[in-house]
Amino acid sequence: MASNSAPTLLWGGRFSGAIDDLMFQFNESLSFDKVLYKADLHGSITWAKALRKLNVLSDEELEQIITGLQQVEKEWEEGKFVIDTKSDEDIHTANERRLGELIGDAAGKLHTGRSRNEQVGVDMRLWAGEQLTDIASALKSLLAVSATRAKEALPILMPGYTHLQRAQPVRFSHWLLSHATFLKGDLQRLEGVQERVSSCPLGVGALAGNPFGIDRDFMAKDLGFHSVHPNSLCAVADRDFVVEILQWASLLMAHLSRLAEDLILFSTAEFGFVQVADAYSTGSSLMPQKKNPDSLELIRGKAGRVMGQASGFLASLKGLPTSYNKDLQESVEPMIDCIKTVSNCVRITQGVLDTLTIHGDKMKAALTDDMLATDIADYLVRKGVPFRKTHHIAGEIVRKAEESKVSISALPLADLKTISPLFEDDISQVFDFERSVEQRSSSGGTSSSSVLAQIAAIEEYVKN
């Protein structure tokens, strides 16, 4: 059911027949790559400057092209750009077609020596680089909010968990900083991803290089890239930067999802440790009493979306032969969607933490004396007993308390002495949650001094 006339397309000169309507829709990418319009236009301006250095363009033609491209950008920004559904396959053809309408024949010189194979790589890298810078800034803000809330909540104690079972008392601040530490690692890894994204493929042609001696170093510098891509065959096929973005994002989303999961649990009536603000909650269409932490549940769900994009694109990439293949078009959508998803999730997480109500009284009420069993073992270690023996002794005390249906702090000293004669009156000092956390004062521990040091380290990292 062909109706599009092949010659109206950039590559149409080779063809006498028209392209099938469904094939045109199947082949086009403008529906999603139009978000790259600014990067594409800026890349074209730099390309025009490089052509002028080669005398392919005159000063007048360069000025016409730059003015025309700036007009096209204005149309996109104001929502006035009109897409030609018969010829605009992608953002590159749309911009070039519109430039020709604005300035005439001079527009035809812009594509001299340039291929869409290199152009799309430039556009994706420029756009992604800018977006990743914004995400890095958002991550820094999230870390700053985490540090601020940790400082505010320093006195609050809560149960620390392993296997979702109450384990030892910790500061709520320490729990929050555990998640901030994961996010700090994500921000550090992002720096490496950003460096590798910033490699300029412009000037490599369709696969074999540029025949006019184009100044690639000039173009890379003009566009703000950190380096020039070293191999033309690789450059047009290189989507490793997309893989890195997707994989980096997958790990970040895993960390955001784990934080979301904790907060979802802590906000239930069974825990009651925190309450998510109305701004980040929704209700039930049937049950008026419900207040659901949908912001956090969506973050948890979108983690799977991002991870699926990473594995899906790798499956598309793994069997490709050398150089450019149209399969690589499948890198654009997941990259765009992934970056948008991650950006939103980071900002939503920041909002949740910034407005979170913390119920320290509920956390304190959840502390139980059996969580100090390790402190009993430590008490005996300080009296010279090997830890393996003290661990066994502390276990006997826990069992004795369960049999007596009392807490371990309520066991009489006489009963404790039947288990070990080393117990003295000072054992009563062990049953103090604040004392327990303050003894964990080594670097990275849950004492107030250790937590404050962690906060200071995050604040310093964000500042620098």
259 Cβ contact list (under 8 Å, min separation 6): 179, 182, 349
Query: Which amino acid, residue 421?
Result: P
Residue 279: DSSP 8-state = G
pLDDT of residue 363: 98
At residue 7, does pLDDT exceed 50? no
Is the pLDDT at 218 greater than 50? The verdict is yes
Q: Alpha-carbon dihedral of residues 434, 438, 439, 443, nearest 10 degrees?
A: 150
Query: CB under 8 Å to 300, separation ≥6 — which residues?
Result: 257, 260, 261, 264
Amino acid type, 225: F
Homologous superfamily of 369-463 in CATH?
Fumarase/aspartase (C-terminal domain) (1.10.40.30)
pLDDT at 386 over 90: yes
Top-tier CATH class for 2-109: mainly alpha
**C-alpha neighbours within 13 Å on the C-beta side of residue 257:** 17
Q: What is the pLDDT of residue 2?
A: 47
Q: How confident is the model at residue 9 (pLDDT cuts 50, 70, 90)?
A: low
Give the model confidence (pLDDT) of 32-80 as tens digits: 999 999 999 999 999 999 999 999 999 999 999 999 999 999 999 999 9
Closest CA to 62 of 101, 9, 99: 99
pLDDT tens column, 67-83: 999 999 999 999 999 99
Q: Closest by alpha carbon to 267, among 353, 343, 342, 341?
A: 353
- Residue 443 tokens read as 């670097």
Q: Decide whether 116-155+163-365 matches 369-463 in CATH topology.
A: no
What digits encode the pLDDT tens for the residues 226-258? 999 999 999 999 999 999 999 999 999 999 999
Rounded-to-integer distance, Cα 226 and Cα 128, Å: 14
Helix, strand, coil share (%) of the chain residues, nearest 5 = 65, 5, 25
Q: Which of 1-5, 163-167, 221-225, 459-463 has the lowest mean pLDDT?
A: 1-5
Over the stretch 83-123, which tens digit does the pLDDT of each residue have? 998 889 999 999 999 999 999 999 999 999 999 999 999 99
* Residue 287 per-residue DSSP state: -
**This model's pTM is above 0.75:** yes
Q: Does domain 116-155+163-365 have CATH number 3.60.15.10?
A: no
Active-site hit among 163, 285, 442, 443: 163
Domain ranges of the chain: 2-109, 116-155+163-365, 369-463
pLDDT of residue 19: 76
- The residues near 411 (Cβ < 8 Å, ≥ 6 apart) are 397, 400, 401, 404
| β partners of residue 274 | 358
Q: Which of 3, 227, 284, 428 is catalytic?
A: 284
- Active-site residue, 284 included: yes
Catalytic annotation on 359?
A: no
pLDDT above 60 for 338: yes
